[in-house]
Amino acid sequence: MRFNIAIDGPSAAGKSTIADILAERLGYTHLDTGAMYRAVAYSALNKGIAYDDEENIVKMIEEMDLEMPADGRVILEGNDISEEIRKNEISMGASDVSKLEGCRKALVAMQQKICADGGYILDGRDIGTVVLKDAPVKIYMVASPEARAERRVKQNLKKGLEADYETILEDIKKRDYQDMHREHSPLTKAEDAVEIDTSYMTIEEVVTRVMEIIEEKTGV
């Protein structure tokens, strides 16, 4: 029986990187739920819908043709938007639309449907607390804002995206505050989640620690 794994934590704590490696090692599929909020923000921006216009955003999601294939791409209305949704303005937009209860409800339902048969690793903000409340393995991954900003600068430089340290640090702090203080499903650690502070850990050390937790929790 394949189970699901929940990974939560603030932006740039390493959730996606770790989820990708785990998925490869376990033969599971990684579903990046943040990318779905990003796709909503991207679509709203293109259609001229304000990020706080809940009624029209929910309508838009109902009609939205969003595909999240197992290879990690994000396909909206047949177009590959994987790169565009990583831009700074979309990061903030995703955090804005994620405040809306209707938007959360619609995306949570999609996420639960996708991973209903198990074998998925979901990373996000509300996975252990809302989307996969019964997951046997829940990880809460954190790192200092400074460590996260440094990592994001390196990633962005590789991708040719905005890479000013101070701007990125500011954005991370702002998004942390917004994601932790919103009314609906704010980012919090699930009671049964295991916290890992990745500030001073290498990727391989984090993967090893998570594999230990999976074994402890499931015997696999």
Residues engaged in binding ligand DC (CB under 6 A): 11, 33-34, 37-38, 94-95, 98, 124-127, 175, 179
Q: Cβ closer to ligand DC: 11 or 43?
A: 11
For 10, counting Cβ atoms within 10 Å of its Cβ (0-12 exposed, 13-18 middle, 19+ buried), the class is: buried
CB of 103 to ligand DC, least distance (A): 9
CB of 165 to ligand DC, least distance (A): 18
What distance in Å separates the CA atoms of residue 29 and residue 70, rounded to the nearest whole number? Answer: 6
What distance in Å separates the CA atoms of residue 107 and residue 46, rounded to the nearest whole number? Answer: 19
Q: Cβ closer to ligand DC: 47 or 181?
A: 181
Q: Which two tokens stand for residue 22?
A: 């785990």
Q: Cβ closer to ligand DC: 34 or 145?
A: 34
Q: Which residues contact 196 (CB under 8 A, 6 or more apart)?
A: 139, 140, 141, 142, 206, 209, 210
* Residues forming a β-bridge with 5: 121, 137
For 63, counting Cβ atoms within 10 Å of its Cβ (0-12 exposed, 13-18 middle, 19+ buried), the class is: exposed
Q: Cβ closer to ligand DC: 1 or 180?
A: 180
CB of 98 to ligand DC, least distance (A): 3
CB of 90 to ligand DC, least distance (A): 8
Q: Cβ closer to ligand DC: 38 or 138?
A: 38
CA angle 83, 85, 91 (to 5 degrees): 135
CB of 18 to ligand DC, least distance (A): 13
CB of 33 to ligand DC, least distance (A): 4
Q: Which residues contact 26 (CB under 8 A, 6 or more apart)?
A: 121, 214
Residue type, position 79, single letter: N
Q: Cβ closer to ligand DC: 181 or 220?
A: 181
